[in-house]
Amino acid sequence: MAQVQLADGALNYQLDGPEHAPVLVLSNSLGTDLHMWDTQVPAFAAHFRVLRYDTRGHGGSLVTEGPYSIEQLGQDVLALLDALNIERAHFCGLSMGGLIGQWLGINAGERLNRLIVCNTAAKIGNPEVWNPRIEMVLRDRQQAMTGLRDASIARWFTPAYAAAHPEQAKRITDMLAATSPEGYAANCGAVRDADFRDQLGEIRVPLLAIAGTEDAVTPPSGSLFIQEHVVGAEYAEFHAAHLSNVEVGEPFSRRVIDFLLAR
């Protein structure tokens, strides 16, 4: 892994795949890091130069004072592309990463080739959901992160998947316990304040919205809303909870690749 220096700190990233292949940027969900995409990388790297990064406040990236905004996180992506001399790229983001993708599609579409937004919505939750969580995390710190980790298995995976793949579920949820409380709370603020419902029509790049049938965090209705409000957008649905890329694995990867390679 490597880092690029932003104005206020370092952003952690990893590149895989052929050096001169089209670039595919992968953006993590709230409370995970770039390794949430490990399942996809071998398949994606057969076709693309895969650029994963830890969103500000996560993993090995900078943790700055919050709250953050989705615009700020989107600008981090543009700074990363600029630092690596990447003019245009595909972008695939899940949950919070999907909000970042929507911001990029609305405000920097000229930097995108194709856009995939997974297990997300134009607006996720409300202040009544996010503010108590932010207050708890900043008050109880690591104890709160451990508690969120233990509760996340039920939100992120279906019971059948968690029972059949306990080591994989633990690997992903342990990322949450390892996340900086300050960084997590700051990103909760970004998700809380994001609302792109009235701007989706400004997205002009080809878009695929992916949903999980059992996703209680961002139900399929949120992805269908995006698909209905972006001209020409496609929609795919898998039997999965919130982290559909992890739970579904190869079929998820194949659907993304088919969309990105379509003419």
- Quick one: tokens of 153? 């298995």
Give 243's DSSP letter: -
CA 19 to chain centre: 23
What distance in Å separates the CA atoms of residue 224 and residue 214, rounded to the nearest whole number?
14
Question: Do residues 236 and 247 touch, judged by C-beta distance below 8 A?
Answer: no
- Quick one: tokens of 157? 């995976």
Q: What percent of the chain has pLDDT over 70?
A: 100
- Quick one: tokens of 140? 């109880």
**C-alpha torsion sign, points 199, 205, 211, 216:** negative
pLDDT score of 50 = 98
Tell which residue, 212, 241, 206, has the closest CA to residue 224: 212
What distance in Å separates the CA atoms of residue 142 and residue 48, rounded to the nearest whole number?
37
pLDDT score of 1 = 76
Placement of tokens 């451990």 in the chain: 146
- Quick one: tokens of 99? 């909000």
In terms of pTM, does the model score above 0.75? yes
What distance in Å separates the CA atoms of residue 67 and residue 39, rounded to the nearest whole number?
31
- 94-135 pLDDT, tens per residue? 999 999 999 999 999 999 999 999 999 999 999 999 999 999
Question: Do residues 167 and 194 touch, judged by C-beta distance below 8 A?
Answer: no
- The structural domain count of the chain equals 1
pLDDT score of 101 = 99
The domain that holds 182 is classified in CATH as 3.40.50.1820
CA distances to 116, 117, 221 from 99, rounded to whole Å, are 11, 8, 15
pLDDT score of 83 = 97
Question: Do residues 240 and 213 touch, judged by C-beta distance below 8 A?
Answer: yes
State the residue range of the domain holding 135. Answer: 2-261
Q: Which residues of the chain have pLDDT under 70?
A: none
